[in-house]
């Protein structure tokens, strides 16, 4: 029976001690370096608890730092130095993130090429859409449809540019990766890019990498025990890489099949081979992750990256954060397409965000081209669809130390949405808009 009942968080609050979170952290670190032995992770976690109980007196409450120190010690002493290193790196990264939200924002922006951010900002200023005050004035003047029109045109121009760049290299290309963090608009953009290229006679074969997920019981979990599907290690990266190499060389492979209801994968399920004039199209969170396509000549690959790079200041003169835009997009999409409660999306966003900061966004500057899928007008639509929910979540999570992340995101987004005019009528949004992927009413089948 575990003697330790509580633990002190970094902000001083006391919460129940959950030994399973130690096992999840150890297993997640092991998965990051290629290990998938949950039994060993559990044994190591048990040793951590024993060591903690040996150290503390009855009634003593350990803090997070003390627990993490013991985890590192147990990993190293039991011959798992590589896992310990990954755990330490993750711990240091989390500490840096906590130091300053402002500095984190600057580091994130530095990972997106400044030239792209500047072009988006310049366009926003040129269109008088760079502040909520200016957007609200246009809406009050009855010009919402005009905002939609110019915003959509800017996005479509980006898609045109991407298609033209692919065409210029089409004589050698074998793989086109469309990547980006959650709810950046990859699915719609993939359809649009393919439509443009087909007009020029290019033929595409889609590879669904979801079939390369490991069995559910081998998935890592996050710190709260939720299965983490956002990490690249949830996918069989060596097998993906092997298949992409063979397909690029014209060889036949057998794609696995993943049963999402059962959480089980069947290997060697579906034959696949591309003809000489065909290009493989891959829509994936982790298309730019190095292990995904390592060893394949760069001439054979075109890498496209998406992010809603809105450069708009809210009523408090703060730039709207891209992650908050994507959070609201995913809430709306998941509630319709996956019967997923928006509150669940908010509560799970912490691990979505952690994974993209480690495994997706840092590789954005390796892309051949970046598309901004952000629309200044979308915030007005989200105000009408989600504002009341954020107001409720702020009060619900305010004094809950276990939901600190959900509270901070809800409060920030609620305060941001307060300053923008709501727009209930979204009929001005085209049926082929990337926004329709999230708000519904798209002419495309997802």
> pLDDT-derived band of residue 372, with 50, 70 and 90 as boundaries?
very high
103-439 is classed CATH 3.40.80.10: no
* 261 CB neighbour count, 10 Å cutoff: 5
**The pLDDT of residue 110:** 47
**The pLDDT of residue 111:** 62
**The pLDDT of residue 386:** 97
- Could you give phi then psi for residue 26, rounded to 5 degrees? -65, -45
Which of 45-49, 57-61, 248-252, 284-288 is predicted with the least confidence, judged by mean pLDDT? 57-61
Tokens of 77: 């002493």
| Owner of token pair 């998941």 | 334
List the domain boundaries for the chain: 6-99, 103-439
**The pLDDT of residue 97:** 55
- Of how many residues is the chain composed? 446
Reported as a single tens digit per residue, the pLDDT across 89-129 is 766 666 655 544 434 444 444 466 788 888 999 999 999 99
C-alpha span between 220 and 339 (Å, rounded): 23
Q: What is the percent of the chain with per-residue pLDDT over 90, rounded to a whole number? A: 60
Reported as a single tens digit per residue, the pLDDT across 155-205 is 999 999 999 999 999 999 999 999 999 999 999 999 999 999 999 989 999
Q: Are strands 301-307 and 369-372 parallel, antiparallel or unpaired?
A: parallel
Reported as a single tens digit per residue, the pLDDT across 264-298 is 999 999 999 998 889 999 999 999 999 999 999 99
C-alpha span between 205 and 182 (Å, rounded): 23
**The pLDDT of residue 166:** 96
- Could you give phi then psi for residue 178, rounded to 5 degrees? -115, 110
Q: What number is the average pLDDT over the span 253-258? A: 96
> Are 272 and 255 within 8 A, CB to CB?
yes
Q: Are strands 301-307 and 203-206 parallel, antiparallel or unpaired?
A: unpaired
């Amino acid at each position: 029976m575990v003697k330790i009942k509580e633990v002190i968080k970094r902000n001083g609050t006391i919460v129940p001690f959950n030994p399973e979170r130690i096992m999840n952290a150890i297993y997640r670190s092991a998965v990051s370096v290629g290990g998938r032995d949950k039994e060993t992770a559990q044994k190591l976690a048990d040793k951590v608890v024993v060591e903690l109980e040996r150290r503390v007196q009855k009634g003593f409450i350990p803090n997070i730092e003390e627990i993490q120190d013991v985890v590192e010690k147990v990993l190293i002493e039991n011959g798992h130095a590589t896992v310990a290193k990954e755990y330490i790196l993750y711990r240091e990264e989390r500490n840096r993130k906590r130091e300053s939200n402002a500095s984190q924002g600057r580091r994130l922006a530095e990972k997106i090429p400044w030239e792209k951010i500047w072009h988006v900002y310049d366009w926003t200023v040129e269109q008088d859409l760079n502040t909520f005050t200016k957007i609200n004035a246009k809406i009050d003047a009855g010009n919402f449809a005009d905002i939609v029109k110019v915003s959509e045109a800017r996005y479509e121009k980006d898609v045109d540019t991407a298609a033209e760049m692919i065409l210029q290299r089409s004589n050698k290309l074998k793989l086109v990766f469309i990547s980006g963090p959650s709810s950046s608009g990859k699915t719609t953009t993939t359809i649009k890019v393919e439509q443009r290229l087909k007009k020029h006679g290019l033929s595409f074969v889609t590879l669904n990498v979801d079939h390369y997920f490991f069995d559910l019981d081998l998935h890592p979990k996050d710190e709260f025990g939720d299965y983490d599907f956002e990490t690249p290690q949830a996918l069989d990266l060596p097998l993906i890489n092997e298949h992409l190499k063979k397909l690029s060389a014209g060889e036949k492979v057998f794609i696995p099949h993943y049963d999402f209801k059962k959480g089980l994968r069947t290997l060697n399920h579906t034959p696949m081979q591309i003809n000489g004039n065909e290009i493989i199209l891959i829509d994936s969170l982790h298309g730019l992750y190095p292990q995904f396509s390592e060893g394949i000549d760069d001439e054979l690959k075109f890498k496209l990256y998406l992010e809603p790079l809105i450069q708009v200041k809210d009523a408090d003169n703060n730039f709207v954060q891209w992650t908050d835009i994507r959070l609201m997009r995913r809430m709306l999409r998941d509630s319709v397409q996956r019967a997923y409660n928006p509150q669940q999306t908010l509560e799970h966003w912490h691990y979505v965000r952690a994974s993209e900061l480690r495994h997706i966004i840092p590789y954005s500057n390796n892309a051949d081209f970046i598309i901004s899928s952000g629309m200044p007008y979308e915030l007005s639509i989200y105000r009408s669809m989600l504002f009341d929910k954020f107001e409720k979540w702020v009060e619900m999570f305010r004094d809950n130390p276990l939901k600190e992340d959900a509270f901070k995101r809800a409060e920030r987004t609620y305060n941001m949405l307060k300053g923008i005019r709501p727009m209930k009528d979204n009929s001005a949004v085209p049926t082929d808009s990337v926004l329709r992927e999230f708000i519904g009413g798209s002419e495309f089948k997802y």
